[in-house]
Structure 1
Amino acid sequence: MNRNTFRPGPLAEVDCQAGDGRWTLVFVRDLRHPPEKVWSALTDPAQLGAWAPYLAARDLGELGDVTLTMIDGDVTEELGASVTRAERPTLLEYTLGTDLLRWELTATGPGTRLVLRHTVTDPDWPAKVAAGWHLCLDVAEHLLDGNPIGPIRGSDALRYGWEDLRAAYAAELGAHR
């Protein structure tokens, strides 16, 4: 598999929870790799740069403030973030601007059940966020397999099925309301 032949995998298990004027996407994905390996992909700046929608100025496995740089082609935007919990290799939580991301990792035999809870302030965003994380985690799985294909982020995601994924997740999340 390479970037030219990449196709998104099946939809993840999703739900959306509302409260206090915020919406939390619950995105569940089973990965073939153990929690320790997934943890490294979530926290190590070099690995994040190969799959995530942002670059990290430092390791996310350490508590405290950090700058995350969102990337869309040649356009970058630095966002303040703060790692509030880092319990290797099972729980990572940090803010990203006004969003809150909570990554929970549970061993499932040789693999990992990843539960991402991404809290946003706009009710239209959970399906968009689900589509973006879907593509990012497909790319991360290739990286973890030892077959990196490079990040798919920003407007580049439109060429890899982001709009179809957004529509499918919107329908899925609508059924859960």
Structure 2
Amino acid sequence: MDHSTFKPGPLSEVNARASADQWTLVFVRTLRHSPTKVWAALTEPAQLAEWAPFTTDRDLGSRGDAILTMIDGEVAEPTSATVTRSEPPTLLEYTWGTDQLRWELATVEGGTRLTLLHTLKDRDWIPKIAAGWHICLDVAEHLLAGNPVGPIRGNEARDYGWDELNHAYADKLGIPATDLPDSEKS
């Protein structure tokens, strides 16, 4: 796969919501593909391996336990997950460690309006998470269009605009920008 021509697209529609001791990133993107095609990219292990920040040990299209393995270069970190809702091709919910992800797909003219609600504990991570999903979903769009560029994960994302996206989303969300902890940097 060739990353040499990859450039991230414009910022997505985002907001952040507080609820009790958690924060939810609401990340909205319109993809030029049907909900059925987008659903397959969100659930099928072979497709997830081409764009997501993790690989999975099974199809995520049905309820139950799974292992999502974060990939960062040569480091693979398995994390427990549980698919709690699966309503193809419109709604997918699962836990990822302590985080909760909810993918909503709606048919719109020209494709699918994808809304990701990613709930986590630490507000400072919201822009970082937005930057990561931004790059992942740009890569997914290439895959869905039949022009795969291969996954861009972990510290490698910093070579493809992650730092700039992190700061841009921090500004857009009104959350002070912070860099990755030293343990997350290469």
AA matched with 1:101? L
Aligned to 2:38: 38
3-state DSSP class of the match of 2:4?
Answer: helix
In the alignment, structure 1 segments of 5+ residues that lack a partner are none
Deviations 1:95-116 (A, max 9, x none): 0000000000000023000000
Secondary structure at the residue paired with 1:104?
A: strand
* 2:96 corresponds to 1:96: yes
SS of 1:124's partner is helix
* Local SS of the residue matching 1:164: helix
Match of 1:9 in 2: 9
Which residue of structure 1 aligns with residue 54 of structure 2?
Answer: 54
Aligned residue identity for 1:61? G
Runs of 4+ in 1 over 4 A off after TM superposition: none
Q: Which residue of 2 aligns with 1:72?
A: 72
Query: Unaligned regions of 5+ residues in structure 2, if any?
Result: 176-186
Return the alpha-carbon distance in structure 1 between the equivalents of residues 78 and 2 of structure 2. Answer: 29
Give 1:21 shift.
0.8
Q: Distance in 2 between matches of 1:93 and 1:34?
A: 19
- Aligned match of 2:182: none
Residue 2 (structure 1) shift: 4.4
Deviations 1:73-114 (A, max 9, x none): 000100000000000000000000000000000000230000
Partner of 1:131: 131
Q: CA deviation at 1:19?
A: 1.1
Q: Deviations over 1:98-156 (max 9, x none)?
A: 00000000000230000000001111111000000000000000000000000001000
Q: Using the alignment, how far apart are the partners of 1:152 and 1:57 within structure 2? A: 19
Query: Structure 1 CA distance, aligned partners of 2:72 and 2:144?
Result: 23
Amino acid at match of 1:49: A
Identity of aligned residues (%): 63
Residue 53 of structure 2 aligns with an amino acid whose one-letter code is P
Residue in 1 that maps onto 2:160: 160
SS at 2:33 equivalent = coil
Give the alignment's TM-score, normalised by structure 2: 0.92
What is the CA–CA distance in structure 2 between the aligned matches of 1:80 and 1:97, rounded to whole Å? 6
Q: What is the CA RMSD across the aligned residues, in angstroms?
A: 1.1
In structure 2, give the amino acid aligned to 1:38: V
Question: Does 2:112 match 1:112?
Answer: yes
**TM-aligned CA deviation for residue 3 of structure 1:** 1.3
Partner of 2:18: 18
